[in-house]
Amino acid sequence: MKIGIDARFFGAEDRGIGRYTENLIRNLEKIDLQNQYFIFLKKQRWDNYNPESKNFQKVKFTLNFKKYELDLMHFTHYKIPFYNDKFILTVHDLIWQKFPIFWFVKRLIYKIFFNLAIKKSEKIIAVSNYVKEDILRNYKINPEKIVVIYEGVS
């Protein structure tokens, strides 16, 4: 399979999601030698990652994913560009929704992106049962679409 991973958030500079993405990629490199991976990085994070496995390739983040002919894309954040092929989404929390510290307009934009992302995704990875239940409490979505995969200790 050809699998893409959105690594716009990569490494400690991008905090929790960045660490999650970095650890996901580095550990997949150790265990998956069969699938072909395209790691989509922002220009600012380009030097943070150098593939150690021949089936991993870093590429500049683009909105033209079609040219890579991906079988599946993994977005580690719900700010998904207009993507119409198969993808999975990792949801870390809904904190932006719970605490009105964000400006109204920003929260509205987040809500639109999140709604689109959860509706269009093939599967949703929730990092805990609490996050899964939070999604189900706030959105009309089939519970079978959500899979809980706990984050490892890094």
Distance from C-alpha of 75 to C-alpha of 60, rounded to nearest angstrom = 15
Written as one letter, the residue type at 64 is N
Could you report the per-residue pLDDT of 55-114, keeping only the tens digit for each?
999 999 988 899 999 999 999 998 887 788 999 999 999 887 877 666 777 778 888 889
Q: Where does residue 114 fall: left (phi above 0), alpha (psi -120 to 50 degrees), or beta otherwise?
A: alpha
Query: Strand order in 56-60's β-sheet?
Result: 56-60, 36-41, 2-7, 72-75, 87-91, 123-126, 146-148
Q: Are 83 and 118 in contact (CB under 8 A)?
A: no
- The model's pTM is 0.90
pLDDT at 154 over 60: no
User: Which architecture does CATH list for 2-148?
Assistant: 3-Layer(aba) Sandwich (3.40)
Place of tokens 């033209």: 64
